[in-house]
Amino acid sequence: MTRRRKGGDHTLAAFKSIRAALPGGAPIYIICDNLSANTTPAIRFWAARNNVELCLTPTNASWANPIEAQFGPLRSFTMANSNHPNHTVLAEELQKYLRWRNANARHTDVLAAQRRERDRFRSQRQQRWGRPALALAA
């Protein structure tokens, strides 16, 4: 669901829905970026009591988060070259894409877009953030 702001209460609600979808008490590992809303005291307390391990990726390490490759196709199929009049219309388009994506998981366009996004992230991994690129010896 799209929100005007990111907050710990929204994150906790999402984590609870994940836990509810996988009952039985088996451990769940949730990979998150290091946004402070993902690690509020309430979330940490809830995670400890519900057998949920929060796995935080380092800053500027989108290549380390496997879900990031899914956002490239989402951006290109839903938001690229668009001009949605408001958040409601954008949310509807996102939901429509996700329904289509879940029904067409092996579609060639989706797989190609995921490959491009993974390649982009892998190339970022080799960069040193905040430093100039190393000159190649000739």
Torsion of the alpha carbons at 39, 30, 76 and 58, rounded to the nearest 10: 60
Confidence at residue 127, expressed as pLDDT on a 0 to 100 scale: 52
Confidence at residue 128, expressed as pLDDT on a 0 to 100 scale: 46
CA distances from 36 to 10, 88, 103, 120, 124 (A): 12, 26, 33, 26, 23
Copy the structure tokens of residue 79. Answer: 């938001």
Confidence at residue 134, expressed as pLDDT on a 0 to 100 scale: 55
On whether the pTM is more than 0.85, the answer is no
pLDDT in tens, 18-67: 899 888 889 999 888 877 888 899 999 999 999 999 988 877 666 666 77
Q: Distance between CA 105 and CA 52 in Å, rounded?
A: 27
Confidence at residue 129, expressed as pLDDT on a 0 to 100 scale: 47
User: Do the beta carbons of residue 51 and residue 26 sit within 8 Å?
Assistant: yes
